Structure 1
Amino acid sequence: MNDDNVEAPPMADPPQTESWIFAHFLKLFGIPNQQHSDAVEYCTSWKWALSITDQTGAHDFLKYREAFDNYKVGDMEVSGELSNICEHEQYLMLRDENKALLEQISALKEEVQKLKDQKKENEKEKSFLITEKLIEKTKVCEALNERNAKLVKDLRIQAAVDDCNTSLSLDLAKKTKECQVLNEQKIKLVEDLRIKIGVDASNASLALELRREYKLLQDINAKLADQSEIQHPAPVPVNV
Structure 2
Amino acid sequence: MSNLQKQKFDLVTQNLKKWQGRDEWFFNREHTDTYELWYEGRYKRAEVWQKKVLASLIKKDSRVKTLLEFGCGTTRFTRWWKEIGIEACGGDISPFMLGQGVHLFDGDLVLADSHHMPFKDGSFDALAFITTFEYYKDPVKVIQEAVRVGKYGVIFGMMNRNSPKLVRRRVQQAFGKNPFYVTATFYSPKTLIAVIDKALKGRDYTIKWTTTGLPKWFPVQQWDMAYGDFFGLHVRLNDVE
**Structure with greater strand percent:** 2
The TM-score normalised by the length of structure 2 is 0.18
The TM-score normalised by the length of structure 1 is 0.18
**Structure with greater helix percent:** 1
The structure that has the greater radius of gyration is 1
